Structure 1
Amino acid sequence: MMSKPGQPEKPATTGAFGPFGAAMEYMVDAAQRSLLFMDVMRQSGNQYREHLAETAPHVLDYEAEVVLDGRNLDHPVNYILVRIIPPEGVSVDPMRRPFVVVDPRAGHGPGIGGFKADSEIGVAFKAGHPCYFVGFLPEPMPGQTIEDIARAEGIFLERVIALHPQADGKPCVIGNCQAGWALMMLASLRPELFGPIIIAGSPLSYWAGVRGQNPMRYSGGLLGGSWLTALTSDLGAGKFDGAWLVQNFENQNPANTLWSKRYNLYSKIDTEAPRYLGFERWWGGHVNLNAAEIQAIVDDLFVGNKLAAGEIRTSDGVAIDLRNIRSPIVVFCSKGDNITPPQQALGWILDLYEDIDEIRAYGQTIVYTIHESVGHLGIFVSAGVARKEHDEFSSNIDMIDVLPPGLYEAVLEAKEADTVSPDLVAGQWVMRCEARTLDDIRALGGNDAEDERRFATAARVSEINLALYRAFAQPMVRSMTSAPVADAMRKLHPLRLQYELFSDANPLMAPVKAMAERASEDRRPVAAGNPFLAMQQAVSEQIVAGLDAWRETTESWSERIFLSVYGSPALQAAVGIDPTDARPLRKAQSSPLHRELLQSRIAELKSRIPRGGLRECLVRGLLHVGMARGRADERGLAAIRGLRAEVEDDKPKPSLAEFKALVREQYYMLLIDEEATLSAIPDLLPPDHEARQKALAALRRVLSAAGDMTGEAAQRLERIVGLFGGGTAGKADPGNGVLRFAKPKT
């Protein structure tokens, strides 16, 4: 029907179907979207089968060459060290420290650290660092253990160090999720192999959390402990299917697992397919673990929470004490991460140390940053996170390496037009490390003494149930399970089966490709204002709200059951936990040997206070003023590089490692006896007044790189100027003669 003159023409469907036009448009669009959706699911299934057929499946977005194959070691493992080949247009500086990215083996295959250009590997390349990657094959080597993997990774790092003898520092090693705590264990045993360690989303203190949140930590207790892990491994003929770990992740967000993920694909089918397929290639690449590996992980970490307390020992009886780590430790976590919340990522610090003084006494530098919202996977795969947090860590890794011992929070601020010294800022963000205390970690929330007893009780119950299973059920289960049966059961796992059913291996999917092609050729997307499209979105939101409500209810009841059952004084007493004991149950023991070594080191440092030259004096002045500010800024490091080049004395220019050692030594001197350390400066300076003034000018440039100094910092600078002979030297308040570590200014 023709419209009257002067009136706008109606769409064809509206004219043909009148008031039902909008409905017909939506029905056509929905039918086409359904066909295209099914075709993407078919492609995902085929991709899954092709990925599994590869010898070494991975999702790296970079070319790589094998450097070492762990299967050829004396204790063979399924891990491989590869060198990442810089893509076209990217150049690396062979003098810069290499980066080594270690991916988590927590159910998925390797490659997430180099999943795309904006990734951990990508930002390391951007900063000019050579890059290596530690991945793994789908099947473990017979008999391999967590300790064997640690040995292999140690050998990998030895090879990387040997390949870069001229590098300005030991490798920076990034451990994602499960790989983070594995690297921390290795670093405690082989501290000489590591430069800075970045652990992203790594649960080092699995019991920690906040009531009403983080329900995954209750899982071990609700399932009766790790006996179920042993049963699953026995049903797998000595192998644990990583798909079970992936399913545990999916169970944390049923709305996304059961609806949102695929609805997002369906509703944006014209644009979302490439991203969906790219992610599913990694998410569906399940790998296996040996029974001994997963049992150690669950018993020692997830249920036992033994790492931070120093209760894990190697096969030759060596205790794994994280306080032995000498490299800076960078912890990246997020409030939006329901797998590794900040309490689990940072709680180990409270388990190991009484206060900041003890962190300093062990010579450790710990830097943490907490994202406000990104989820667990976003820490590794979000382009925004890579371009901001990972980019800044990679660009400023040398600054982190030379930080004095202590606890810091990395704070990132956008570079603006009025930013001071913008030429000293490498990227779009200004990174500074602000001094913190353990109270800042405690403020995040955590367990009280009653909660600790509950988790300790769950760990004891787990040990008892595992012993009962091994004594009475395990022999029968093992006798009934063969390798072919175990393989068949793995193929029938729901997460694996969902890919198989939608692949071309299913004859019912045969017509989908052709039908989707026809729908694509005649694609008629519905208008954005269509009321049925709005209704579709409203229904989706209701489904998500319902699933979220279900999750919140089950999480609440799970927490209540756990707290009630394992909070029972009768159960606690029955398994050997004193219900009245208010002491921390997972506190690392102090070491008498360390105290003796510390006193010896203090005496040695006191004897070295009157020694040194212009270089030592500059560092003393820099640290004395900087300690009043309570922070370090990347612009200061950029200025320090110039200071290192400007200092003219009879010594060769220090390497980064030598400069780090110098900073630490002078820092400790100031902590031990600040007045004596400062008073010695005039006697250590060269007699040449011009040389003193030149060095003092360089020192001023470094200190003012992040802005003008005020308050106590300005007063301290005035005293340093006087000590260098450039003004009136103030007199510091005399100390009381007690050897102590000063508290940081926050």
Structure 2
Amino acid sequence: MTSELSNIPSTPKFADAFANYSLDAWQRSILFLDVMRRRAEQYEEHAAQNAPHVLDYEAELVLDGRTLDQPVNYALVRIIPPAGVTIDPQKRPFVVVDPRAGHGPGIGGFKADSEIGVAMKAGHTCYFIGFLPDPMPGQTIETIARAEAIFLETVIARHPEADGKPCVIGNCQAGWAVMMLAALRPELFGPIIIAGTPLSYWAGVRGQYPMRYSGGLLGGSWLTALTGDLGAGKFDGAWLVQNFENQNPANTLWTKQYNLYSKIDTEADRYLGFERWWGGHVTLNAEEMQFIVDELFVGNKLAAGEIRTSDGTAVDLRTIRSPIVVFCSKGDNITPPQQALDWILDLYDSVDEIRSLGQTIVYVVHEKVGHLGIFVSAGVARKEHDEFASNIDLIDVLPPGLYEAVLTPKGEAGEHSELIGGEWIMRCEARTLDDIRALGGNDIADEHRFDAAARLSEINLALYRAHAQPAVRAAVNPQMAEAMRNLHPLRLTYEMFGRANPFMTWVEGAAALVRENRRPVEADNPLLALQEQMSARIVDGLEAWRKLAEKVSEETFRIVYGAPALQAALGIDPNSTRPPRKAEKSLLTTALIEARTNALKARITHGGLVEGLIRSLLFVGKARGGADERGFEAIRRVRRVHSDASRLTLTEFKSVMRDQYYILLIDEEAALAAIPEMLPQAVEERKAAFDVMRGVLEASGPLTGTAAERFQQVTALFKLDEPVAASEPVPIATRTTTRTRNAS
């Protein structure tokens, strides 16, 4: 501090600097209060709307969930494209499902640069599934899933000409809801994009992401039940928002407000725009919230396949047949990469198992963006979400397996940049489970600790329901519950600056006078520099407090739930090496895989030119360990002009790709030996097909190493200098259609 004070000039320059700074600080204070006043009025107006949202687009109602046989407070709307946006009716529609995690709807379309915005820019029709502030009586997570299934059926029926099922985007909480529905109704989905979604809530790295310890430190989910009872059957979403706020006290208590104060002339609109969504608190039925905490957060049952519907159907994520794109970030302290990705380790023992089940999983790990930035950052929308939207068909036809999407600037692409649609090039590179393990995670002792917390939660919840719940429910009526919601600290931070506060009546007029006579301080004013330094000290202090609190929380959790006596009392064997939430293998699934394998073996020699080309492409392409958008764009252009390929829909084309991929895995030698018989007899036709294959393979750059060797091997199979022995002619299109129909 002494060195900072030494930079302050002496009198009379200091007197001028002090006067200028004091005037600026006083004016900024008035303008800051005025923004708080506008924030409160915005909050009141937003809460008074029947269907409040923060979408930046016009929309038309397609289906109101309140009119269904099992009514829910959700609705399906179609986003009306803004002027200058052209929609291609043959492209698959996009459906954005908004998270219901305490805030109101609209975050997926909060800005022009958003998930909705980039999808429409790519020519896709967009739909949005949002919700109203209050749930319908008796509404549950399961009834919401059934309603969303009806919404998707409606979208599919409205777009019979679309080349593929809808691409569904689920943000945060909506992501795991979408995954549950996709496991129950896989036929409704095209590619699925889940952004910032916790699917494996126990996972994490020591010293980071302390939110996963909250359930255990609070003794389990009994407190969730108590909060729902105090709300007369409703859970106040403001408590969820408060939990998010608590993860970053420096931002909550200081930085957010200071950033507005210090940049009051330019920051107000951005601040108010975000606060319009951040303050739109909604409620959930107590039963909904109890399910979320018991089954997902504390119980961590989704990845283990232990969640069942009311009719006993198991929710097994391995039944999903659509490609799954997982978008997460190392800077996300709400859903870190481990929570977004470790469900893969819970479900599968190897990538071969992923392939055998016909699943395609693509993940992207951002280096620094925070949880909310995944949905609202313009930079993320223009990069990651833009690439997802532009290359969704590439993702849809990728062979089964595990991939990481790697994005590089278009300028570094090298050859064939004309095949790149945007400013970035997306390459899907093959990965193994070890790549996910390398991100860090729990050891078996950590898993036992979380298992102990889950079991203790069940006991405490049972005790609360037996001994305290009846009395609490009898003591609370709806009027009392409403009064307690209105007194929530987060709501008070808005309302205390509102019209009801008589001490705020002078602010609007004073702010108008300040704007007329605004005199910002000079950027080189030493007191302004001192202000910034003082702010930095406050942030450092709050950050130190956060780190200390997180360390104490983690150590407390580890000591309490790692205690051998407690684990023994809860029936946990500390010597067990099997993770407590490892998904069981299904004998039925194994039998289906064997039957499918035998069926494909019988068709190794079946097919025509399209199958032969795809088989050759896959054989050579496997050596590259992935695919980028240039190769797929080349295939797309071939499909437009090639008579046989153009007759295939994208779904049929995907089916051919997958079958040929599996045939190569089953018996590569026999699959290659059959290629000459699948090609045309005429040398000219084989040469034309060969040129197509070479153009697609070289679209991503020259072939080298093993890929080049495989290309030479395939070149020999095309027999470009000699005619093929005559065989019974069968039209290629007929053979393709028959084969595809049998496969489906």
**Aligned position for 2:6:** none
Among residues 651, 658, 661, which one is paired with 2:655 in the alignment? 661
Which residue of the partner structure matches residue 525 of structure 1?
520
**Residue deviations 1:243-269, cap 9 Å, x none?**
000000000000000000000000000
Q: Where does residue 132 of structure 2 map in the other structure? A: 137
Aligned length: 714
Question: Displacement, 1:19?
Answer: 3.6
- Does 2:584 match 1:589? yes
> What is the one-letter code of the residue matched to 2:373?
G
- Give 1:506 shift: 1.0
Q: Which residue of 1 aligns with 2:245?
A: 250
Give the distance between the partners of 2:693 and 2:436, measured in 1 at CA: 33
For 2:688, which of 687, 694, 707 is the aligned residue? 694
Q: Secondary structure at the match of 1:271?
A: helix
Q: Give the Cα–Cα distance (whole angstroms) in 2 for the partners of residues 357 and 22 of structure 1.
A: 70
1:644 is displaced (CA, Å) by: 2.3
Match of 1:529, SS?
Answer: coil
- Sequence identity (%): 70
Distance (Å, rounded) in 1 between the aligned partners of 2:648 and 2:234: 51
Q: CA deviation at 1:648?
A: 4.6
User: In 1, are the aligned partners of 2:165 and 2:189 still within 8 Å (CA)?
Assistant: yes
Partner of 1:364: 359
Deviation per CA, 1:565-600: give whole Å up to 9, x if none: 000011011011112212111111111111111111
Tell me the alpha carbon deviations over residues 541-581 of structure 1, each in whole angstroms, 9 at most, x when there is no partner: 00000000000000000000000000001101101111221
Distance 1:314 1:18 in 2: 74
Partner AA of 2:565 in structure 1: A
**Which of 343, 346, 351 matches 2:341?**
346
- Distance between the aligned counterparts of 2:546 and 2:721, measured in 1? 68
Q: What amino acid is the match of 1:127?
A: A
Range with greater deviation from structure 2 (453-462 or 496-505): 496-505
The one-letter code matched in structure 1 to 2:425 is: V
Q: Structure 1's 614 and 242: CA in aligned 2 closer, same or farther, altered over 3 A?
A: same
Task: Report the equivalent of 1:310.
Answer: 305
Distance in 1 of aligned mates of 2:26 and 2:658: 68
Partner of 2:716: 722
Moved more, 683-692 or 325-334: 683-692
C-alpha distance in 1 between matches for 2:498 and 2:412: 54
Matching residue within 87, 92, 95 for 1:92: 87
- Provide Cα deviations, 1:297-352, integer angstroms capped at 9, x if missing partner: 00001100000000000000000000000000000000000000000000000000
Match of 2:49 in 1: 54
Equivalent residue for 2:442?
447
Q: 1:15·1:21 contact (CA, 8 Å) conserved in 2?
A: no
Q: For residue 182 of structure 1, what is the amino acid of its counterpart?
A: A
1:215-266 Cα offsets, whole Å, 9 max, x none, are 0000000000000000000000000000000000000000000000000000
Contact 2:62 2:76 in 1 (8 A): yes
TM-score (norm. length: structure 1): 0.95
Please report how far the alpha carbon of residue 653 of structure 1 lies from its aligned counterpart in structure 2 after TM superposition.
Answer: 1.5
Q: Deviations over 1:441-469 (max 9, x none)?
A: 00000001100000000000000000000
Question: What is the CA-CA distance between 1:520 and the residue it aligns to?
Answer: 1.1
Question: 1:614 — aligned with what?
Answer: 609
Counterpart residue identity of residue 447, structure 2:
E
Matched position secondary structure for 1:499:
helix
Single out whichever of 573-582 and 420-429 deviates more from structure 2: 573-582
Unaligned segments of structure 2, at least 5 residues: 1-8, 723-744
Amino acid at match of 2:155: V
- Does the CA-based 8 Å contact 2:119-2:389 persist in structure 1? yes
1:599 to 594, 612, 618: 594
2:621 equivalent to 1:623: no
Cα distance per residue 1:389-439 (max 9 Å; x no partner) = 000000000000000000000000001176311110000000010000000
**Residue 643 (structure 1) shift:** 2.4
1:645 is displaced (CA, Å) by 3.7
Whole-angstrom distance in 1 between the partners of 2:161 and 2:564: 61
Contact 2:640 2:646 survives alignment (8 Å):
no
- Deviations along 1:90-139, whole A, 9 cap, x unmatched? 11001100000001000000000000100000000100000000000000
Give the match's secondary structure for 2:63: strand
C-alpha distance in structure 2 between counterparts of 1:418 and 1:577, whole Å: 53
Query: Tell me, what secondary structure is at the counterpart of 1:68?
Result: strand
Residues 19-50 of structure 1 show CA distances to partners (whole Å, capped at 9, x for unaligned) of: 41101110000000000000000000000000
1:380-419 to 2 correspondences below 5 Å: 380-416=375-411, 419=414
Q: CA deviation at 1:726?
A: 2.8
Q: Deviations over 1:674-725 (max 9, x none)?
A: 0000100111211111010001001000000010010000010111111011
Is 2:630 the counterpart of 1:635?
A: yes
Unaligned runs of 5+ in 1: 1-13, 729-746
Contact 1:647/1:695 (<8 A) preserved: no
Residue 633 of structure 1 deviates from its aligned partner by: 0.7
Q: Is the 8 A contact 1:335 1:341 kept in 2?
A: yes
Match of residue 708 from structure 1: 702
CA contact (8 A) 2:683 2:720 kept: no
Q: CA deviation at 1:652?
A: 6.4
Provide the C-alpha distance between the structure 1 equivalents of 2:721 and 2:586, rounded to a whole number of angstroms: 46
Give the aligned partner of residue 677 of structure 1.
671
Q: Distance in 1 between matches of 2:504 and 2:289?
A: 37
Of stretches 511-520 and 638-647 in structure 1, the one that deviates more from structure 2 is 638-647
Show the 5 A alignment for 1:148-297: 148-297=143-292
Deviations 1:177-218 (A, max 9, x none): 000000000000000000000000000000000000010000
Q: Does the Cα contact within 8 Å between 1:173 and 1:196 map onto a contact in 2?
A: yes
Whole-angstrom distance in 1 between the partners of 2:591 and 2:129: 39
Q: Distance in 1 between matches of 2:72 and 2:571?
A: 38
Q: Output one character per residue of 1:627-655: Cα deviation in whole Å (capped at 9) or x when no partner.
A: 00001110001100122245455x86211
Distance 1:567 1:212 in 2: 16
Equivalent position SS for 2:411: coil
Q: Secondary structure at the match of 1:502?
A: coil
The 1:248–1:201 alpha-carbon spacing in structure 2 relative to 1, beyond 3 Å, is same
2:136 and 2:640 mapped to 1: Cα distance?
Answer: 51
Deviations, residues 30-78 of structure 1 (Å, cap 9, x unaligned) = 0000000000000000000000000000000000000000001011000
| Paired residue type of 2:230 | L
Aligned partners of 2:113, 2:13: CA distance in 1, in Å? 50
Q: Residue 78 of structure 2 aligns to a residue in which SS? A: strand
User: Match of 1:498?
Assistant: 493
1:376 matched residue in structure 2: 371
Contact 1:235 1:477 in 2 (8 A): yes
Secondary structure, aligned partner of 2:265: coil
| Equivalences for residues 89-128 of structure 1 within 5 A | 89-128=84-123
Which whole-Å CA distance do the structure 1 matches of 2:609 and 2:31 have between them?
72
Task: Give the SS at the match of 1:416.
Answer: helix
Distance 1:575 1:656 in 2: 52
Secondary structure of 1:299's partner?
helix
Displacement of 1:18 in angstroms is: 5.1
Q: Distance in 1 between matches of 2:396 and 2:366?
A: 22
SS at match of 1:525: coil
What is the CA–CA distance in structure 2 between the aligned matches of 1:655 and 1:207, rounded to whole Å?
Answer: 41
